[in-house]
Chain A
Amino acid sequence: GQNIDQPTEMTATEGAIVQINCTYQTSGFNGLFWYQQHAGEAPTFLSYNVLDGLEEKGRFSSFLSRSKGYSYLLLKELQMKDSASYLCAVNNFNKFYFGSGTKLNVKP
C-alpha cells in the first residue's frame, strides 16, 4: 500500500521559520510534490523534488531524502497569508498519493 504521513497541525509566528515534515512509503516513486491549499480552495503547486537535496524557491524550500523516505517543506519569513494546509504528495507512475495535509496556523 501507499503510506504518507504528515503532522496534522502546526502553529508558528509571523516572521518566523517553520518546517513541515513528510515521510512516505510507496510502491514506486517518481517525485515528491508539495501543494498549498487555502480553506475552501483547490490545492496549488508549490514545489517538486525528484533527486535528493534542497530545492529553493523564494521563501519556500523543499528537501528530499529518497533513502529515508523523507521530505520537508521549509517556509521562511512567515506571513499571515501562509496560513493554509500543506499537502505532501508522491507521484507513483502518474498517480499522486497525498498525505492528509498539515494545517499551518500563522499567528501575529
Chain B
Amino acid sequence: GAGVSQSPSNKVTEKGKDVELRCDPISGHTALYWYRQSLGQGLEFLIYFQGNSAPDKSGLPSDRFSAERTGGSVSTLTIQRTQQEDSAVYLCASSLVRAQANYGYTFGSGTRLTVV
C-alpha cells in the first residue's frame, strides 16, 4: 500500500486478556519497527525486524510481549495477559533496509490500546 497500515486503530480490552496488533508496512520496505508511546511520553523502542535476520527484541518490556513478521511483510505484536500499564499507542514504522537520510521512517497511525 501507499503507507504503513495498522489495525485496529483503537482497542479496548479487559485486564488479563491477550491482544494482537497488526502492522502492514510499505511494500518493499525490509525494515519494520514497533514503538510504544504512553500519554505525554516519547516513543519507546520495542522490536526491530530486518529482512530475514533475527529480530532485535531488546526493547520488549516483558515476556508478555512478542512479535512476529511473516513473509518479510506483515507483522503482529502480541501482548499476553494485558495489564493497565500496557495502555498506550503502539506505533509501527517501516523503512528501506535501514532508515534513510532523506526520510527516516514512515510511521503508521498507530493502535490506541486501552486496558480496563
Contacts and interface: CB of A to CB of B under 8 A. Distances in A.
Interface of A: 4, 31, 33, 35, 41-45, 48, 50, 87, 89, 91, 94-101
Contact of B104 (A41, A48, A99, A100): A48
A18 to B, nearest CB: 20
B87 interface: no
Contacts, number: 57
B98 A94 contact: yes
Given A33-B99, A94-B48, 14 more contacts: A4-B42, A41-B109, A42-B110, A44-B107, A45-B103, A45-B106, A89-B43, A91-B99, A94-B99, A96-B43, A96-B45, A96-B99, A99-B42, A101-B42
B41 interface: yes
Contacts of A33: 99, 104
Interface of B: 31, 33, 35, 40-45, 48, 50, 56, 59, 91, 98-99, 101-110
A98 B33 CA distance: 13
Contact of A97 (B45, B106, B107): B45
A interface, over-half SS: strand
Contacts of B109: 41-42
Contacts of B105: 45, 96
B91 A42 contact: yes
Nearest to B59: A95
19 contacts: A31-B101, A33-B104, A35-B104, A42-B108, A42-B109, A48-B102, A48-B104, A89-B43, A89-B104, A91-B104, A95-B33, A95-B59, A96-B43, A96-B45, A96-B99, A98-B42, A99-B42, A100-B40, A100-B41
Given A31-B101, A50-B101, A96-B99, A43 B43 contact: yes
